[in-house]
Amino acid sequence: MSTINTRYLGLNLSSPVIAGSSNFTSKVESIVEAEAAGAGAVVLKSLFEEQIVSMAHSMAAKESYPEADDYLHYYTRTNSVETYLDLVAKARRSVKIPVIASINCFSPKGWIDFAVEIEKAGASALEVNIFFIPVDKHQSSNDSEAVYFKIIDNLRKKLTIPVSVKIGLRFSNLLNFTWQMYSHGASGIVMFNRFYEPDFDINNLNVVPASVLSNPVEQRYVLRWVGMVSAQDMKMDISASTGVYTGEDAIKYLLAGATTVQVCSALYKRGFTVITEINEAIHRWMDGKEFKSLDDFRGRLNYRNIENPSLFERSQFMKHYSSYI
């Protein structure tokens, strides 16, 4: 019988399937459900840098001019941050699986000290979802990427728990970028976030949000990069996040070299049972192939291990399109 336990960010997981950050991981009851369904870990809903910074400002204003602060406003902001610490602590007490906290951020200062509070509350690790849109044409790619590295440096100085970084899909040279993240001390990389995308409503001439849930097809854009990043000489775990709906999807990412996979949209469409189904399907497939552990096949189809690595490259693109009739 196969076993699907794994190590991720130095933590022991009973399954490589993680309930990814979303509203499904913002309450203790649903985190308990995720564990019961067989999730190897949960990543909590993100707290936003803006929430932390606004709390810090409110507290500073209250200290210098107590009467100038609107108490209710202050309370609401503070409460969201305190509620988060409470969620971390309660989740840790309620489940045995690792509880990974998450902060959505865009700058390397103003909120970093707060990460220490998250560690003290008992988080097993911290996932930082770094998201900013470069809107200044004078800012170079190097300048933008330096923000990521500074965030990792600052967190590494303050925290003892592992830090993983969730990034978007588009960088000029993802291999160099991820290697630099590794050199700065990231323990893991989450590939990838699915950012808010604007869409156009041509009838009402409005900008509207595009669908927030992924489509399984989007997995194809991610598979190549998991396969290429995992083939590099870096001891940095990869968690694949995008388009995991079935056991087959999870197996593909593991074959590409992912340490874990995260499910999110599938939870919205099918509930937590999808995690149980994915675990069962991985077991069935492993038993059929006589694989005993995930290490028996993890990375088997990555850029380093396949016979013809050009299948990941430009030459394949030329062949593919010129032979298509």
Ligand X SMILES: Cc1cc2nc3c(=O)[nH]c(=O)nc-3n(C[C@H](O)[C@H](O)[C@H](O)COP(=O)(O)O)c2cc1C
Residues binding ligand X (CB under 6 A): 20-23, 45-46, 102, 104, 129, 166, 193-194, 212-214, 241-244, 263-266
Scanning the structure block, which residue is given the tokens 């998450």?
Answer: 102
Structure tokens that stand for 39 in this block: 């999730």
Max CA separation in the chain (angstroms): 74
Give whole-number Cα distances, 9 to 148, 238, 307, in Å. Answer: 19, 9, 29
Half-sphere exposure of 60 (CA within 13 A, CB side): 7
Beta pairing class for 47-48 and 41-43: unpaired
Residue nearer to ligand X on the CB measure, 85 or 291: 85
Residue nearer to ligand X on the CB measure, 77 or 166: 166
Residue nearer to ligand X on the CB measure, 74 or 225: 225
146 Cβ contact partners less than 8 Å away, ≥ 6 residues apart: none
Residue nearer to ligand X on the CB measure, 59 or 212: 212
Q: Which residues pair with 276 in a beta bridge?
A: none
Least Å from the CB of residue 208 to ligand X: 16
Least Å from the CB of residue 287 to ligand X: 26
Beta pairing class for 198-201 and 41-43: unpaired
Least Å from the CB of residue 309 to ligand X: 27
Least Å from the CB of residue 213 to ligand X: 5
Structure tokens that stand for 141 in this block: 């790619």
Least Å from the CB of residue 130 to ligand X: 10
DSSP string over 37-59: HT-SEEEPPPEEHHHHHHHHHHH
Least Å from the CB of residue 106 to ligand X: 13
Residue nearer to ligand X on the CB measure, 15 or 129: 129
Please state whether the peptide bond connecting residue 297 to the residue before it is cis, i.e. omega within 30 degrees of 0.
no
Distance CA 20, CA 8 (A): 14
Residue nearer to ligand X on the CB measure, 69 or 266: 266
Residue nearer to ligand X on the CB measure, 20 or 40: 20
Distance CA 23, CA 297 (A): 33
Least Å from the CB of residue 242 to ligand X: 4
Least Å from the CB of residue 263 to ligand X: 5
In the chain, what are the helix, strand and coil shares in percent, each to the nearest 5?
Answer: 50, 15, 35
- Helix (H) / strand (E) containing 100: strand 99-105
Residue nearer to ligand X on the CB measure, 22 or 69: 22
